[in-house]
Structure 1
Amino acid sequence: MLKVARVREVWLTVSDRRYECVWAEAMGRGRGVRVAIAGFGASDCRCGSHLFGFDAEPSIVAFRRRLRGAERGHDAVVCRRV
């Protein structure tokens, strides 16, 4: 994947609970977001994908808002520039 894309930021949370599918759902509802590869990272769940592409740089603030709507109380996402 690094041959065709560059890591610019890493978004993470620290929790005993797995939020991968909650994040995928919230990310997929963003404006200008598209599934990059159908089924990627989702062989063990019902998500359409866990890999997305973006028309513009995604907003961590908007993502946190979508998370609050998807999972009450879960918006503790840290963003680190790479």
Structure 2
Amino acid sequence: MTDAPGTYALLLRADEASEIEVGALGKMEVRPSAYVYVGSAFGPGGLQARVARHARGDGALHWHVDYLRAVTTLEAVWYTHDPERRECTWAEVLRARPGATVPLDGFGASDCDCPAHLVRFDPSPLFHTFREFVQAVYPDHKPIRQRTPAEEM
């Protein structure tokens, strides 16, 4: 992962039930399950800086996902250094997967018309299935890679 721009998905795991307040969106019930949050990083520091900040899970509560990070564990990051913004496409693909639910309308989607950029799953979605589907539907898509917290973000 470099400081180039791109799109990423955080695969998060909640082990306990809780309720969080997500800024102006209001309350969200967090159930023990997998959550996938999709975002993009086109500013200074690109993917490397944005994902590192989310991986640490500290700092000011700036993005919707910061509230969720306080009660979840980061399991993996899927990312692409594609210069085209792909976050809405990725979120749409994830929402269409069997068993996917949107836990809070508008989560992560304050700057677009998507229902949400956060999807809940049980069990967790598989990286290779997601990657193969996206690259089959969008053949011009740059490669999608995966990192785990054990690897440098």
For normalisation by structure 2, the TM-score amounts to 0.49
Contact 2:127–2:146 at 8 Å: present in 1 too?
Answer: yes
Q: Which has the higher strand share?
A: 2
Select the residue among 24, 40, 52 that pairs with 2:119.
Answer: 52
- Write the distance in 2 (CA, Å) between the matches of 1:2 and 1:62: 25
Shift of 1:50: 0.2
> 1:37 & 1:65 partners in 2: Cα distance?
27
Q: In the alignment, does 2:75 pair up with 1:8?
A: yes
- Segments ≥4 residues shifted beyond 3 Å: none
Structure 1: stretches of 5+ with no match in the other structure: none
Q: SS of the counterpart of 1:27?
A: helix
Q: How far did 1:2 drift?
A: 2.2
The two structures, once aligned, show a CA RMSD in angstroms of: 1.6
Alpha-carbon separation, structure 1, partners of 2:90 and 2:130: 9
**Paired residue for 1:22, among 66, 80, 89?**
89
Please name the residue that 1:71 is paired with.
138
Q: Which amino acid aligns with 1:30?
A: R
CA distance, structure 1, for counterparts of residue 80 and residue 123 of structure 2: 23
Bigger shift: 46-55 or 30-39?
Answer: 30-39
* Structure 2 stretches lacking a partner, 5+ long: 1-67
- In 2: Cα distance, 1:2 partner to 1:40 partner: 13
- Structure 2 distance, partners of 1:39, 1:17, is 22
Larger Rg: 2
**Structure with the larger RCO, 1 or 2 (CA within 8 Å, 6+ apart):** 1
Q: How many residues align?
A: 82
Alignment equivalent of 2:99, drawn from 3, 12, 32: 32
